[in-house]
Amino acid sequence: MRLTSTTTADSVLSQLQRLGERQATLQRQVATGQRIHQPGDDPAAAGRIITARMERGAISQFSRNAAAALEYSKTSYSALEQFKKLSDRASELSVLGAGAIGTEAMSAYAAEVNQLIEQAASVGNTRFHSDYVFGGTAVADSPYTLTRDTAGRITSATYAGDTGRIAIPLGEEATLQPTPDSATNAGMADMMNNFVALRDALEAGDTSALSALRPNLDQAEDLLVGALSEHGAIQLRIEVAQTQQNARLQEIDRQISAEADADLPEVIVRLNQTTQAYEAALSSSSNIFRLSLLDYLR
């Protein structure tokens, strides 16, 4: 049985086309380093890559959340440390005032406490970017309402924030609150009011009032120590989350690479083999197409 020249030509051309497409695919893999150019190259692997990339996107967002939460917490921690220094100095001045001899020394201590009050009010308005950190979830408005006398001195402070707390997701089922709680926020207003009472007692030379203030100053100290400890734990938790997120991102990248990346040594070998087969097919086809009808009739 003889094959017609048309059938032979179609077969040869089909073979050349397949080899050409294969050669083009391998050349693209060598050039890009990627095994998959279109989903049809490997539908199953393409599906796994899409799923992995979606997971990577979610983890990347959690990683950005963690970075923002850490900055929130660091800002809050720094402000609390400043409050702690002010509280420490106020406690020292209450002791010095109780033992002071003469109104001149008491007045000097009172003037320093007045500066502590102003500093405390300033620290209370600490912001992270444009958000007040001591206002709960009411981040757009100043968290403390200050009342001043005709001389411009602060005479009272009232907490004007809410009882909420900013919550930032660090994972599918993990949420963290990186700013102080409402008890701490309100406690800062109480601390400022204690400073006002301390200043007034020093100006009046009232040692009994100074002694009565000690428990309140100590209470503020305890509140600050507790808040600082909490934020230290919060920062540790964020850093652990970041370590876990980075590890997951690296593992997902490895999985995507294993699915998508071409094995270049193997691809180069296959490309050489395909190129040789293509060249051989071209040579054979040229010989076949030179045959005439008379050659088949012999």
DSSP for 184-230, written as a single string: HHHHHHHHHHHHHHHHHHHHHT-HHHHHHHHHHHHHHHHHHHHHHHH
Each residue's pLDDT expressed in tens, for the chain with a length of 298 residues: 454 555 655 666 666 566 565 655 656 655 666 666 676 667 887 788 888 889 999 999 999 999 999 999 999 999 999 999 999 999 999 988 887 667 888 899 999 999 999 999 999 999 998 999 999 999 999 999 999 999 999 999 999 999 999 999 998 888 999 999 999 999 999 999 999 999 999 999 888 898 899 999 999 999 999 999 999 999 999 999 999 999 999 999 888 877 766 555 655 656 566 566 556 666 666 655 555 544 555 5
Residue 195 is predicted with a pLDDT of 96
Residue 88 is predicted with a pLDDT of 94
Residue 287 is predicted with a pLDDT of 59
Q: How far is CA 76 from CA 6, 70, 99, 121, 168, in A?
A: 83, 10, 35, 15, 15
Decide: 165 and 186 in contact? Cβ < 8 Å: no
Residue 17 is predicted with a pLDDT of 65
Look up tokens 């370590």; give the residue: 243
Tokens representing 281 are: 């097919």
| pTM check: above 0.85 | no
Tokens representing 292 are: 């005439």
Q: How far is CA 200 from CA 7, 110, 139, 197, 203, in A?
A: 110, 7, 32, 5, 5
- CA dist., res. 81 & res. 279, Å (int): 77
Residue 1 is predicted with a pLDDT of 46
Measuring CA to CA, which residue among 19, 70, 287 is closest to residue 177? 70
- CA dist., res. 161 & res. 155, Å (int): 19
Tokens representing 87 are: 């509280």
Is the backbone of residue 291 left (phi > 0), alpha (psi -120 to 50) or beta? beta
CB atoms within 10 A of CB 174: 14
- CA dist., res. 72 & res. 89, Å (int): 26
- CA dist., res. 110 & res. 202, Å (int): 5
- Domain range annotation of the chain: 51-254, 264-298
Superfamily in which the 51-254 domain is placed by CATH: f41 fragment of flagellin, N-terminal domain (1.20.1330.10)
